[in-house]
């Protein structure tokens, strides 16, 4: 087996990100609750995509790519961070985004404008149309290009969160539970695989903020990422738990999610977002209410970023 830190990777973020206790929330909820600050990952406004991009763009550089394509919704944090990473590396980002969500110059659209990014919208719900368009544009520009899938969620990108699990294991505090948002699957798959390798006492819980078949997606990504590490592991659905926190729909704020955003802000001065981390934290609160965490068990919440989205979506007053 190869250690995740032996694989080719560029340095884009500021790692390790801090882990600290949420003192007020712990007292309020009767939990031993901690947070992993991947919102402070050091590129753009921070967030989980930086870890994936370190592996993906290392491959792009090795292949000699000058252009980097990716996709997502209009307010994709992943697309914005891919553009920031490409700028950092002197590559040219081109974003071909679904014309869904807030396309006005707010949130991540504003940040992309500030970076002078070529953003194109396609009125489609089918990523196959977008991937074909990436090839058409890439070939017409006559430069070597690299395509990153939606959310950076392929096996290579997922290694970023295997590396995160390794990082947590070396930060000196043990956790019984680790809770994260699951949107395209790479973060959760990487953490679940990384927990098997580096955090054997930690249960990983994914809070689904979309309606895709996440059990299947997570298992596939875990197995493909394990293959990249030559790790012979028995991977099954028992390696993680999933909870539906999508509410009214992907990228549509939910009442519980918005309440969780407010609770974190009011008690700890930390900003979650209404699309991913707010809904994920609402899932953690629901688990706590149901008694899923035994007394004395330490719980870690992954703050995966999303600040751009906070300034795009209208929340209830
Ligand atoms: C802020 C934030 N948190 C969590 C996620 C979910 O991560 P993943 O797409 O790897 O499931 C995303 C990505 O879509 C995100 O932007």
Which pLDDT does position 314 carry in this prediction?
75
The CA distance from 312 to 231, in Å, is 41
pLDDT of residue 260: 98
183 CA distance to ligand 1 middle (Å): 5
pLDDT at residue 315, rounded to an integer: 72
User: Mean pLDDT in each 10-residue stretch from start to end of the chain (317 residues)?
Assistant: 96 98 98 98 97 98 98 96 98 96 94 98 93 94 97 98 98 98 98 98 98 98 98 98 97 95 98 97 98 97 95 78
Query: Atom 16 in ligand 1: which residue has the minimum CA distance?
Result: 77
Q: How far is CA 6 from CA 2, 10, 80, 163, 244, in A?
A: 7, 12, 28, 10, 35
User: What pLDDT is stored for residue 237 in this prediction?
Assistant: 98
pLDDT of the residue at 313: 78
Give the distance between the most distant pair of CA atoms in the chain. 60
Ligand 1 pocket test: pick from 85, 148, 183 the residue with the most ligand atoms within 8 Å of its Cβ: 183
The predicted structure's pLDDT at residue 244:
98
Ligand 1: nearest atom to the Cα of 181: 4
Task: State the distance from the centre of ligand 1 to the C-alpha of 91, rounded, in angstroms.
Answer: 23
For residue 68, the model assigns a pLDDT of 98
Q: Cβ contacts of residue 301 below 8 Å, gap of 6+?
A: 22, 33, 34, 35, 36, 179, 180, 280, 281, 284
- In the chain, DSSP finds a helix count (H) and a strand count (E) of 11, 10
How far, in Å, is the centroid of ligand 1 from the Cα of 188?
A: 9
At residue 90, the pLDDT reads 97
Task: Quote the ligand 1 centre to 142 CA distance (angstroms).
Answer: 32
Q: List pocket residues of ligand 1, CB cut-off 6 Å.
A: 47-48, 77-78, 151, 153, 181-188, 273, 276-277, 304-306
Catalytically annotated residues: 76
pLDDT value, residue 71: 97
């Amino acid at each position: 087996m190869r250690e995740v830190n032996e694989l080719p990777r560029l340095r884009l973020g500021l790692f390790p990100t801090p882990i600290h206790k949420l003192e007020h929330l712990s007292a309020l909820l009767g939990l031993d609750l901690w947070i992993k600050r991947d919102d402070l990952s050091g590129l753009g406004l921070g967030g989980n995509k930086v870890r994936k991009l370190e592996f993906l763009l290392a491959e792009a550089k090795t292949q000699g790519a000058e252009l980097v394509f990716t996709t997502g919704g209009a307010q994709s944090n992943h697309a914005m961070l891919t553009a920031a990473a490409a700028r950092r590396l002197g590559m040219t980002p081109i974003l071909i985004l679904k014309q869904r969500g807030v396309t006005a110059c707010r949130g991540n659209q504003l940040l992309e404008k500030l970076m002078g990014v070529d953003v194109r919208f396609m009125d489609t719900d089918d990523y196959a149309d977008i991937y074909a368009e990436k090839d058409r544009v890439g070939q017409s520009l006559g430069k070597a290009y690299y395509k990153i899938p939606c959310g950076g969620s392929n096996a290579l990108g997922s290694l970023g969160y295997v590396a995160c699990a390794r990082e947590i294991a070396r930060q000196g505090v043990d956790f019984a539970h680790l809770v994260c948002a699951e949107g395209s699957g790479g973060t959760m798959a990487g953490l679940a695989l990384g927990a098997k390798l580096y955090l054997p006492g930690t249960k990983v819980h994914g809070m689904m903020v979309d309606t895709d078949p996440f059990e299947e997606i997570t298992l596939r990504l875990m197995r493909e990422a394990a293959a990249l590490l030559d790790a012979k592991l028995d991977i099954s659905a028992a390696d993680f738990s999933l909870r539906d926190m999508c509410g009214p729909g992907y990228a549509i704020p939910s009442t519980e999610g918005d309440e969780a955003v407010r609770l974190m802000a009011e008690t700890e001065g930390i900003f979650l977002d209404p699309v991913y981390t707010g809904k994920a934290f609402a899932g953690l609160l629901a688990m706590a209410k149901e008694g899923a965490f035994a007394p004395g068990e330490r719980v870690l919440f992954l703050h995966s970023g999303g600040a751009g989205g906070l300034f795009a979506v209208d929340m209830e007053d």
